[in-house]
Amino acid sequence: MSECKVCSAEMESNHRRYGAPSCNACAAFFQRSIKIHKEFVCENSDQCLIEPSKQGKQCLKCRFSKCLQMGMISREYIRAQKESTKLNSAEIVFARITDTLLTTSLHLSSYLKEYLENGNPEVMKISLELANNAKMDSVPERIELLASLFTKNPITQTEFAVFTNICLCKLEYSRISESEKEKIKALQNSAFQKLPISPIEGHRFLDLVILSSRFLEIFYANF
Note whether 208 and 149 are within 8 A (CB).
Answer: no
DSSP annotation of 17 reads E
- Judged by beta carbon, residue 26 or residue 168, the one nearer Zn ion is 26
Q: Specify the residue, 36 or 186, whose C-beta has the smaller distance to Zn ion.
A: 36
| Beta-sheet strands, E only, within the chain | 2-3, 10-11, 16-17, 20-21
Q: What would the DSSP string read from start to end of 29-43?
A: HHHHHTTTGGG---S
The nearest distance, CB 78 to Zn ion, in angstroms, is: 22
**Among residues 44 and 213, whose Cβ is nearest to Zn ion?**
44
Which amino acid does the sequence have at 178? Answer: E
Q: β-pairing, 16-17 with 20-21? A: antiparallel
Looking at residue 156, its amino acid is T
Q: Which residue's CB is nearer to Zn ion, number 42 or number 80?
A: 42
Nearer to Zn ion, 69 or 222 (CB): 69
CA angle 182, 188, 190 (to 5 degrees): 105
Q: Residue 18 Cβ, how far from Zn ion at the closest point, in Å?
A: 12
Q: How far is the CB of 32 from Zn ion (least distance, A)?
A: 14
Residues that bind Zn ion (CB under 5 A): 4, 6-7, 9, 23, 26, 42, 44, 48, 59, 62
**Residue 39: CB minimum distance to Zn ion, A:** 14
Question: Which CA distances in Å does 145 have to 4, 43, 173, 180?
Answer: 38, 35, 22, 31
Smallest gap from Cβ 73 to Zn ion, in A, equals: 16
Q: Residue 64 Cβ, how far from Zn ion at the closest point, in Å?
A: 10
Q: Which is nearer to Zn ion, 41 or 221 (CB)?
A: 41
Q: Rounded to whole angstroms, what are the CA distances from 9 to 1, 21, 67, 70? A: 10, 11, 14, 15
